[in-house]
Amino acid sequence: MVIFTPILSNEEFKAATKNLKKYITDNEGEIVGEDTWGLRSFAYPIDKKTTGLYYIMEYKSAGTLNAKFQIQMNRDESIMRFMITSLDKHAVEYNARKRSGEKSSKPNSSTEKTEA
């Protein structure tokens, strides 16, 4: 998850996210999914700003890409905050189902009919 400064124009925001994706693919990573949340309010001000542009990306990587990527994002002045997390196999499966639009594998008990 990356939070960009809210003063970026739409074109600058798209260029910044494109640069992040390019950095991952150039370093032998694979983009699995991405989601743009857009402008959201903060719970508390960060750098005297109360909003930020949220961008979430899921990628696969091997080796030291996360460490290099963290350094790259620290250098970017348009990024206010970022968070890199590793997903376990269950989270990866959940995200894949969510992207494909599949429903949960658990049956909904409120819609099932019971016979007496």
Query: From first to last of its 116 residues, what are the pLDDT tens digits of the chain?
Result: 999 999 999 999 999 999 999 999 999 889 998 999 999 999 999 989 999 999 999 998 887 888 899 999 999 999 999 999 888 889 888 888 888 887 655 555 444 444 44
The widest CA-to-CA distance across the chain, in whole angstroms, is 66
Listed by start position, the domains of the chain span 2-100
pLDDT at 99: 83
Q: What global pTM score does this model have?
A: 0.79
- CATH code: domain 2-100 is 3.30.70.60
pLDDT at 105: 57
Q: What φ, ψ does residue 95 adopt, rounded to 5°?
A: -65, -40
Q: pLDDT tens across 99-109, in order? A: 888 765 555 54
User: By the 8 A CB rule, do 29 and 65 touch?
Assistant: yes
DSSP 53-105: EEEEEEEE--TTHHHHHHHHHHH-TTEEEE------HHHHHHHHHHHHTPPPS
Q: pLDDT tens across 50-59, in order? A: 999 999 999 9
User: By the 8 A CB rule, do 30 and 60 touch?
Assistant: yes
56 HSE (CA, 13 A, CB side):
9
